[in-house]
A = this chain, B = another copy of it.
Amino acid sequence: MKKEKSNPSNRPATMRDVAKLAGVSQPTVSRVLNQSNTAISISEETRIKVMAAVEQLNYRPNVLARGLRTQQTQMIAVMIADISNSFFHPIARAIQDVARERNFDVMIANSDQVYSNELHFIEAVTRRPVDGVIMVPIHITNQFLGEFVTRTNTPVAVLGQHVDHPLIDVVFARDDKAIYDATQWLVKERGHRELGLIGSLDDLPPGPRRAQAFVDALNELQIPVNPAHLLPGDFTLEGGRRAVQQLLETTDKLPTVLVALNDLMAIGAILCLQEAGYSVPDDVAVIGFDDIAEATIVRPALTTIAQEPADIGRKLATCLFERIGDLAMPRRILESPSHLIVRDSA
């Protein structure tokens, strides 16, 4: 009585167990279960015996073992940039939907826009191979990402960032164009001449690209840009508050409108402005980017550039699965639409 063996076999049933119970060999069980494999014939009799045994033992194939043998894990990994940013929720949901259709599991990770978390994620997916990766890189360099891909041969779909690699597909939103148009709209249709920006030229992606579009639009219209009105922003709610605080401290001439590079910052800015006694949009108008759920909660309701995160998620996922199906697939750069939604904040 060295080991307690009260449980006859307190572990999930294996193929061997099924085989023994059905009175066939273990490979036969495998063939019955993977009947989809063409050109393999199994007698109806043994198929029934095997299925009965499977049923009786409540057998489920061990995906780990299968993955080791086939080098395919039936799993993709997703790294989003900020789980607190509602923008990513429909994306995650859409990805899970597409994955479900193909019987893939999804492993979601959240980088919180922190570099070490991004590195850890890459480390994790090289140690635990997955069939594909979807990610929103913020700090990670394209080169580093490229090296991961060539080293592991893992297809990757990236959101927002252009990465030049034959195994990496990209989905983006022409956000620069959208910001450019929105900025011009603020000037031409709304008559603003003092515009501020939250999320500056030297911040995290996609900051610089969008900020540049903002600056370009104003240059085009020959509207001067007040450097004190270019605020940094880290794409969080708190970041939006901080930007406005900095604005209030460093200048007494407020812009008439603030262009925030995402909704979270826009909302933070609105809250902070209101707490400081300013009226939005009368004293300072605010416009955001993304059209997240909170945009209709905040008062005044947020004028913003809507993206279609569900569409983005679906594009990312289908792109990825197509490449998983055929590594040689030509590289794709997909565009997801965006459009201005005018509510009350600007």
Interface string of A96-136 (1 = CB under 8 A from B): 10001000011111101000000010011011110000000
Interface string of A206-243 (1 = CB under 8 A from B): 00000000000000000000000000000001000000
Query: A58 contacts B297, CB within 8 Å?
Result: no
A75 at the interface (CB under 8 A from B): yes
A190 at the interface (CB under 8 A from B): no
**Which one of A59-67, A155-163, A281-289 contacts B?**
A59-67
Given A10-B153, A152-B12, are A109 and B129 neighbors across the interface (CB < 8 Å)? no
B residues less than 8 Å from A110 (CB atoms): 92-93, 96, 108
Per the bound structure, the CA–CA distance linking A255 and B105 in Å amounts to 46
> Which of B109, B127, B297 touches A63 (beta carbons < 8 Å)?
B127
Q: Which residue of B lies closest to A298 (CB)?
A: B297
Q: Which residue of B lies closest to A120 (CB)?
A: B100
Could you tell me the distance in whole angstroms from the C-beta of A18 to the nearest C-beta in chain B? Answer: 15
A20 at the interface (CB under 8 A from B): no
A83 at the interface (CB under 8 A from B): yes
Per the bound structure, the CA–CA distance linking A123 and B60 in Å amounts to 9
A84 at the interface (CB under 8 A from B): yes
A250 at the interface (CB under 8 A from B): no
Could you tell me the distance in whole angstroms from the C-beta of A13 to the nearest C-beta in chain B? Answer: 9
B residues less than 8 Å from A100 (CB atoms): 120
> Which of B12, B84, B89, B151 touches A126 (beta carbons < 8 Å)?
B12
Query: A293 contacts B237, CB within 8 Å?
Result: yes
B residues less than 8 Å from A84 (CB atoms): 86, 89, 293
Could you tell me the distance in whole angstroms from the C-beta of A156 to the nearest C-beta in chain B? Answer: 15
Residue from A61, A86, A120, A128 having most chain B Cβ neighbours under 10 A: A128
Q: Which residue of B lies closest to A104 (CB)?
A: B124
Query: B68 contacts A96, CB within 8 Å?
Result: no
B residues less than 8 Å from A143 (CB atoms): none
Query: A73 contacts B83, CB within 8 Å?
Result: no
Taking CB atoms and an 8 Å cut-off, the chain A residues in 300-324 that contact chain B are none
A247 at the interface (CB under 8 A from B): no
B residues less than 8 Å from A67 (CB atoms): 64
Per the bound structure, the CA–CA distance linking A240 and B16 in Å amounts to 52
Query: A65 contacts B63, CB within 8 Å?
Result: no
B residues less than 8 Å from A120 (CB atoms): 100
Q: Which 4 A-B pairs have the closest CB atoms?
A: A108-B108, A63-B128, A107-B107, A299-B299
- With A10-B153, A12-B152, A96-B109 known, 17 other A-B pairs at CB within 8 A are A11-B153, A60-B123, A62-B127, A62-B129, A63-B127, A64-B128, A64-B129, A75-B128, A83-B92, A83-B93, A93-B112, A106-B109, A107-B107, A108-B109, A237-B293, A298-B298, A298-B299
25 residue pairs of the A-B complex, CB under 8 angstroms, read A10-B153, A12-B126, A62-B68, A62-B127, A62-B128, A63-B127, A64-B67, A65-B68, A75-B128, A83-B83, A83-B92, A84-B86, A105-B107, A105-B124, A105-B128, A106-B107, A106-B109, A108-B108, A108-B109, A108-B110, A237-B293, A267-B297, A294-B294, A297-B297, A298-B299
